[in-house]
Structure 1
Amino acid sequence: MGKKPNVAIIGAGLSGLRCADILIQNGAQVTIFEARNRVGGRVHQSKLGDHLIDLGPNWIHGTGTNPITDIAEQTKTTLEDFEGNQAVISMDGNPLDDDEAAKISNFFWITIEEAFEYSNTHKATIPPERSLFDFYEEKVEKTDFTVEEKKLCIELCRLWGAYVGDPIERQSLKFFCLEECMDGNNYFVASTYKVILDYISRAALQHADIRFNQPIVKIDSVAPQGPNTRHNTTLTTATGETHTFDEVVVSCPLGWLKRNKSAFTPELPPRLTQAIDSISYGRLEKVYVTFPRAFWHNKDPATNAGAKLSAYERPTFAQFLDPAYAKGPEGILWNQECISLAALPAHCAHPTLLFYTYGPCSTYIVSKVANLDPKSQEYFKFLDDFLRPFYSRLYGYSESSPECKPLALMATQWQNDPYAGHGSYCNFQVGLRQGDRDIEVLRAGLGLDRGVWFAGEHTAPFVTLGTSTGAYWSGERAAGQICQLYGLGRVGMGIERDDSLPSAGVKRLAD
């Protein structure tokens, strides 16, 4: 086209920031409208006592060509490759021995790999109503495990919800392949995402016009005024201001799109509306609790020379199977999973447990703390009453010890946050019929027809859907689409991404 486009980006999360970076490098004029008073979107930190914690993503999924891993290395961000030391607390509150825990855990992960392969191979014929739980349950029944071992396997598998944000019974088997991650290790970001976010946001903060506290309430595409012209798109802010641009990139979360389809004029095409409605939005939340000391970590390697500590005596992960000793509201599964942040490298370690909650349980917690002051005793008591039945089952707990009494607690509330889309990230639930095509429709957006493009983790290459890497790559892809349309360069862009999945064994270019 020959002209330098004037581009608006709605949202300053990872996808919007990366999109801005690429557009700026290739000569576009960029304005970002951000509803919050900060950049980062769902990537955000807070202080818990003296410790900095991530309220959003904690992990980098996959290595190799992962740009977030590369940025972590450049910024000297500390990553931890957690392995082993998985304590499993049974339904009666007692720890399983390491061999038994390893047996059921290994079975779970082997079955997950088999389910990925099965989903990839038989996606066309798997009924939409069939769940991952159905597949897993059948696999359990075919084993020669004891009745008790089978029961433990079933209870352990429910912790899949802590990965996707909703119960395993809701996980689509047909499109389970879309939950598959990049090959390579999964790293916990021990020193938080803060410096990674600083790095990704630098170009936008320096060279884009970022307008904070400016929610967009209307996205109006104006028809071309002549045969050789394109649509203009006018944005209306919550205060009634209007701004017109050549192109608009909507990097808002999928949950926001679900609730704000009416913001688009003309109304969205039926197939795009169907895609937005069909992909689900997860309910993953976190609760942090910090103590004077990590009482659950046995610091004495042994009273016997050469003795090895059990996973229970020094856990990295602790999984609490459906607890008979702690019941939530009727009908809500109350199993829990936590990570010990005392197991991080020494300069990042602190005596804190990070609990992941999901589905109805997380929704219940969020609803209870929604109207409480986080500094109030009522807030503290509610969260402590929720967590105490679990942390009190860990090694070293003593009810009378001051070291076992929490200093501070914090619960995320993404489901109460309209700018996060009232949730965490996309997932793929039973009933989904065209999940892969839905993602492709979201990626295509309305760019060529209306000058409205989409970015965000829900538009990522299949292997990075729902991840920070996916958000980053999606912003790069949306910027590339605009650069190509206007004949701009490809400065700063990486290699072309594809939709290959590790278990599929074939290459498939991303749209």
Structure 2
Amino acid sequence: MTIAEATGTVIYDPEGGEHVSFSREGHPIHDDVSAKVQDFVWTTISEAFEYSNSHGESIPADKSLLDFVRERVQQTKFSDEEKDLCLDACKLWGAYVGDQADRQSLKFFRLEECVDGSNFVVASTYKRILEHVAKTATKQADIHLSEPVTSIKAPHRNQSTNHQVTVTTTTGTYDFDEVVVTCPLGWLKKNTSAFSPELPPRLLQAINSISYGRLEKVYVTFPRAFWHTPTASDKDNTTKPTVFAQFLEPTYAPHPPHIEWNQECLSLAALPSPHAHPTLLFYTYGESGAEIINSISNFHPSSPEYRDTLNQTLQPFYSRLPGYDAESADCTPTAFLATQWQKDDYAGNGSYCNFQVGVVDADRDIEVLRSGDGIGPVRGLWFAGEHTAPFVALGTTTGAFWSGERVARLICEGRGLDVGGDGVRDDPLPSAGGHIHELNRTGR
């Protein structure tokens, strides 16, 4: 946030727009019922954080967030229909962590609690933020792009008076005094053999224990934002345009029967000028995200097959939005683009870390990932990235940034350099002002 403000990056808080939810049958849920459901969702999420914080030691490793939700919803006096809506809405927590709520560990749910403040979208993209944080490197460093790393040799310092860390890529070999590895957790999981000598056993255990999410995004662009156009019944234009929509466990959208098919989308037409454009950003996750990406992975993004497959998947949803008219050209998509992080080896075949049922020592695992189990000072090998962030910022851009700052300070201090500032903070307190969510998840 501080860098965004300093660089004139335009951010947007989508909370000010109209939020609409659709039932399993595809009908808009009445505002009063929707408000009741959303109040239950966020009250229960808050209670789950508190319960995880207070009872983490005694919570079984196989108990999920959805188990907790089911217990809480049965304690309400809601109708059966309202209870079903509450359960369906709570399942959309999956869009925050990249996997289903029934796979979210309740024991370590507290590790998903984020920095306080509003959720902002980076309306003008991360361009200026990236330029700012990369300024020193792009000015002074020798940067090699498009050279996949195949091995990193980092012997103990006491084995050589002329200690160096050797990095081998597909095109060359380079020697360094220190190496900071910021590869995604998913990449580390599949490439621990790239390090020699072998990484310490406890570090390997931490890498294997923490889960890696499956969030994906699909952008659908139209000639005009028909969902922002006033309808005939709203001649005075008093209704706020739809900014965020949730589609709960749809019976009207064809999908594999064993896969959770909740979807949600954000309107990019609501972004401030000149950054607004008539695009819906769909967030999909877990098995449904995998199903969608697998269906298009063999097609080129410019091919008719790619477009038709995504349209068949998403048309049942965007056609429910206000202003939709099947006969109008404004309601026919002009472009589709989907992330395919699960198919991208360099993204680690996923999105970002999460904490799934079965994990037994996740907080300690993160601390080990953060410290590298002590190999930095003795082998010149350090680890950074969102999976090594302070607990309040795991899986976020803020966390990734903090992790890099932390390692840089440690390296400088180890070489007797005074870099000033606040020193090394393993778990900085949340700062006021909010955070940016557009790295990965709707609330992150």
Query: TM-score under structure 1 normalisation?
Result: 0.80
| In 2, Cα distance between equivalents of 1:266 and 1:139 | 49
Structure-to-structure mapping, 1:262-273, within 5 angstroms? 262-273=193-204
| 1:364 aligned residue (291, 300, 317) | 291
Alpha-carbon shift at residue 245 of structure 1 (Å): 1.8
- Aligned amino acid, residue 233 of structure 1: V
Query: Secondary structure of 1:211's match?
Result: coil
Indicate if the aligned counterparts of 2:219 and 2:280 stay in contact, CA closer than 8 A: yes
- Aligned amino acid, residue 67 of structure 2: D
Q: For 1:351-374, what per-residue CA distance to the aligned partner results, in whole angstroms no more than 9, with x for missing partners?
A: 110000100111122222222111
Q: For 1:275-333, what per-residue CA distance to the aligned partner results, in whole angstroms no more than 9, with x for missing partners?
A: 0001011010000001111111243697476x852x7xx21110000110012123111
Query: Secondary structure of 2:102's match?
Result: helix
Alpha-carbon shift at residue 497 of structure 1 (Å): 3.0
- Aligned amino acid, residue 303 of structure 2: S
CA RMSD, aligned part only?
1.8
Alignment: residue pair count: 427
Q: For 1:430-481, what per-residue CA distance to the aligned partner results, in whole angstroms no more than 9, with x for missing partners?
A: 1111111101101111212321110000000110000001001100111111
| 1:461 aligned residue (390, 393, 399) | 390
Structure 1's 226 and 94: CA in aligned 2 closer, same or farther, altered over 3 A? closer
Displacement over 6 Å in runs of 4+? none
Structure 1's 403 and 261: CA in aligned 2 closer, same or farther, altered over 3 A? same
Alpha-carbon shift at residue 85 of structure 1 (Å): 1.8
| In 1, Cα distance between equivalents of 2:132 and 2:146 | 22
Structure-to-structure mapping, 1:171-320, within 5 angstroms? 171-224=104-157, 229=161, 231-239=163-171, 241-299=172-230, 303=234, 308-309=238-239, 314-320=241-247
Query: Secondary structure of 1:430's match?
Result: coil
Partner residue in 2 for 1:149: 82
| In 1, Cα distance between equivalents of 2:209 and 2:227 | 43
Query: Secondary structure of 1:356's match?
Result: strand
Partner residue in 1 for 2:404: 475
Indicate if the aligned counterparts of 2:156 and 2:378 stay in contact, CA closer than 8 A: no
- Aligned amino acid, residue 193 of structure 2: S
- Aligned amino acid, residue 319 of structure 1: Q
Partner residue in 1 for 2:425: 497
| In 2, Cα distance between equivalents of 1:134 and 1:355 | 26
| In 2, Cα distance between equivalents of 1:379 and 1:222 | 47
Is 2:279 the partner of 1:346? no
Indicate if the aligned counterparts of 2:97 and 2:213 stay in contact, CA closer than 8 A: yes
- Aligned amino acid, residue 410 of structure 2: Q
Indicate if the aligned counterparts of 1:177 and 1:501 stay in contact, CA closer than 8 A: no
Alpha-carbon shift at residue 410 of structure 1 (Å): 0.4
| 2:57 aligned residue (124, 130, 148) | 124
| In 2, Cα distance between equivalents of 1:152 and 1:477 | 43
| In 1, Cα distance between equivalents of 2:273 and 2:196 | 54
Deviates more, 1:138-147 or 1:296-305: 296-305
Partner residue in 2 for 1:376: 303
Indicate if the aligned counterparts of 2:48 and 2:65 stay in contact, CA closer than 8 A: yes
Identity between Structure 1 and Structure 2 (%): 58
Partner residue in 1 for 2:355: 428
| In 2, Cα distance between equivalents of 1:286 and 1:211 | 29
| In 1, Cα distance between equivalents of 2:181 and 2:232 | 53
Partner residue in 2 for 1:509: none
Indicate if the aligned counterparts of 2:369 and 2:383 stay in contact, CA closer than 8 A: yes
| In 2, Cα distance between equivalents of 1:252 and 1:213 | 14
Indicate if the aligned counterparts of 1:222 and 1:234 stay in contact, CA closer than 8 A: no
Indicate if the aligned counterparts of 1:302 and 1:308 stay in contact, CA closer than 8 A: no
Deviates more, 1:118-127 or 1:143-152: 118-127
Query: TM-score under structure 2 normalisation?
Result: 0.92
| In 1, Cα distance between equivalents of 2:426 and 2:153 | 32
| 2:326 aligned residue (390, 399, 408) | 399
Indicate if the aligned counterparts of 2:244 and 2:264 stay in contact, CA closer than 8 A: yes
Structure-to-structure mapping, 1:92-131, within 5 angstroms? 92-131=25-64
Partner residue in 2 for 1:409: 336
Structure-to-structure mapping, 1:445-456, within 5 angstroms? 445=372, 446-456=375-385
| In 2, Cα distance between equivalents of 1:365 and 1:235 | 37
Alpha-carbon shift at residue 79 of structure 1 (Å): 0.9
Q: For 1:37-60, what per-residue CA distance to the aligned partner results, in whole angstroms no more than 9, with x for missing partners?
A: xxxxxxxxxxxxxxxxxxxxxxxx
Q: For 1:380-420, what per-residue CA distance to the aligned partner results, in whole angstroms no more than 9, with x for missing partners?
A: 11111111010011111111111100010100011111111
Structure 1's 292 and 230: CA in aligned 2 closer, same or farther, altered over 3 A? same
Structure 2 portions without partners, runs of 5+: 431-444
Q: For 1:59-92, what per-residue CA distance to the aligned partner results, in whole angstroms no more than 9, with x for missing partners?
A: xxxxxxxxxx011111111111121521001000
Query: Secondary structure of 1:316's match?
Result: strand
Indicate if the aligned counterparts of 1:115 and 1:176 stay in contact, CA closer than 8 A: yes
Indicate if the aligned counterparts of 1:291 and 1:408 stay in contact, CA closer than 8 A: yes
- Aligned amino acid, residue 425 of structure 2: R
Partner residue in 1 for 2:9: 77
Structure 1's 226 and 398: CA in aligned 2 closer, same or farther, altered over 3 A? closer
| In 1, Cα distance between equivalents of 2:311 and 2:370 | 43
Query: Secondary structure of 2:93's match?
Result: helix
Structure-to-structure mapping, 1:53-72, within 5 angstroms? 69-72=1-4
Kindly indicate which of the two structures has a greater share of residues assigned to helix.
Answer: 2
